[in-house]
């Protein structure tokens, strides 16, 4: 479980700018509580809870908005372990809005990882480097259409024995 939590923490740091944008969109979506609901991810009216809104308006597949929401929630109430538990235990939208604002602050303060230095490419040799010689392209095969096959009694591939058997079967079928 520790590996998973560490991985989630690092991903959230990498995706902090996307998380900030998602948190902005969550706040816009809720319209001061008009589109906020509890006890359901999505109500029939289209209102959503915190998690439902985060899934609905997310900016990127890797944003960590729910991570920052959980961090803000646990600052206020450490006994709550999920965003859903917080959302469903609130009676008014004002506390939800305060958590969204705090989550946005936390995401903005997240330390971004330092860029890795790029190793310099080795200097080219004194001689000019050319690509290898290309082999000649093979000639195209003939694709002209063939003359139509004759439709008479004789067709290539049908032997006299096969023709005799076929004729016998046909006459038997016609007699019946």
The per-residue pLDDT for range 56-90, each reduced to its tens digit, is 998 877 778 898 999 999 999 999 999 999 999 99
Q: Which tokens sit at 105? A: 């602050």
Lowest mean pLDDT among 19-33, 107-121, 122-136: 122-136
Q: Which residue has the tokens 């038997």?
A: 172
d(CA 155, CA 149): 8
Asked if the structure places residue 25 within a domain, the reply is yes
Determine the pLDDT at residue 79: 94
Q: Please provide residue 7's backbone torsions phi and psi, each rounded to the nearest 5 degrees.
A: -60, -45
Contact at 8 Å (CB) between 16 and 110? Answer: yes
Determine the pLDDT at residue 74: 94
Asked if the structure places residue 102 within a domain, the reply is yes
Asked if the structure places residue 121 within a domain, the reply is no
CB atoms within 10 A of CB 67: 23
Note down the domain range covering 20.
2-109
Asked if the structure places residue 17 within a domain, the reply is yes
Determine the pLDDT at residue 77: 93
Contact at 8 Å (CB) between 72 and 102? Answer: yes
Asked if the structure places residue 22 within a domain, the reply is yes
Q: How many domains are there within the chain?
A: 1
Determine the pLDDT at residue 62: 75
| Average pLDDT of the residues of the chain | 80
Asked if the structure places residue 97 within a domain, the reply is yes
d(CA 39, CA 143): 69
Determine the pLDDT at residue 169: 80
pTM: 0.59
Asked if the structure places residue 162 within a domain, the reply is no
Choose among 59, 40, 35: nearest CA to 51.
40
Region of 157 please: left (phi>0), alpha (psi -120 to 50) or beta. Answer: left
Asked if the structure places residue 142 within a domain, the reply is no
CA-based torsion, 30, 35, 40, 43: positive or negative: negative
């Amino acid at each position: 479980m520790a590996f998973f939590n560490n991985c989630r923490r690092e991903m959230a740091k990498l995706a902090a700018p996307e998380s900030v944008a998602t948190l902005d969109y969550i706040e816009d979506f809720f319209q001061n509580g008009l589109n906020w609901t509890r006890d359901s991810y999505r109500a029939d009216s289209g209102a959503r809870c915190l998690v439902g809104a985060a899934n609905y308006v997310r900016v990127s597949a890797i944003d960590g908005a729910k991570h920052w929401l959980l961090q803000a929630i646990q600052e206020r109430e450490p006994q709550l372990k999920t965003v859903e538990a917080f959302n469903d235990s609130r009676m008014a939208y004002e506390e939800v809005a305060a958590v969204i604002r705090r989550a946005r602050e936390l995401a903005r303060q997240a330390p971004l990882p330092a860029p890795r230095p790029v190793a310099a490419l080795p200097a080219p040799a004194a001689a000019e480097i050319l690509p290898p010689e290309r082999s000649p392209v093979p000639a195209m095969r003939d694709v002209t259409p063939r003359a139509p096959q004759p439709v008479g009694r004789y067709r290539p591939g049908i032997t006299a024995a096969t023709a005799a058997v076929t004729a016998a079967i046909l006459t038997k079928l016609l007699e019946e």
